[in-house]
Structures are given as structure tokens and as C-alpha cells.
């Protein structure tokens, strides 16, 4: 997962996935200090997949947000 790529051990990475809500997961990632890294990793993957789906025919931008954290 992105959390392990950002330095979390496997147990913490799995625990973040056990969150019921996105904001709950973000709380856990923030508590262990990897929220920004995970956010960036996820955004890069979303953009990569969007470009792949469009065969790079259009420029893709991605914005994600939550009700608690706002724009990520």
C-alpha cells in the first residue's frame, strides 16, 4: 500500500486500511507522520491511471477532498 511505500511498517499500513472512513484513515496516517507522503503517492497514481485511460490524449488534473480535511 501507499503507507508502506512511505515508511510505515506492514502492521501500521494494514491498520490504516481497517478504518471505516477516509477521514479515519487520514487521522491514522497523520498520527504516524506520513499523511503528506501517502497523499502525494495516491495523487500520482490517480493521475497516472487517468492519463493511461485517456492514452495521454488530454491533460489530466486531479483534486481530492474530504469533509474533515478539505482539499488533499
Q: Tens-digit pLDDT profile for the chain (72 aa)?
A: 788 889 888 888 788 778 899 899 999 999 999 999 999 999 999 999 999 999 999 988 888 999 898 888
The x, y and z cell numbers of residue 37, run together, are: 507522503
pTM exceeds cut of 0.85: no
How high is the pLDDT of residue 1? 76
How high is the pLDDT of residue 9? 84
Using CA atoms, how far apart are residues 18 and 13, in angstroms rounded to an integer?
9
Please, what is the end-to-end C-alpha distance for the chain in angstroms? 18
Amino acid at each position: 500500500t501507499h503507507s508502506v511505500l512511505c515508511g510505515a511498517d506492514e502492521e501500521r499500513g494494514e491498520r490504516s486500511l481497517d478504518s471505516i472512513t477516509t477521514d479515519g484513515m487520514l487521522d491514522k496516517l497523520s498520527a504516524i507522520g506520513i499523511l503528506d507522503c501517502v497523499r502525494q503517492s495516491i495523487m500520482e497514481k490517480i493521475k497516472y491511471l487517468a492519463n493511461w485511460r485517456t492514452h495521454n490524449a488530454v491533460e489530466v488534473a486531479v483534486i481530492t477532498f474530504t469533509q474533515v480535511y478539505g482539499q488533499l
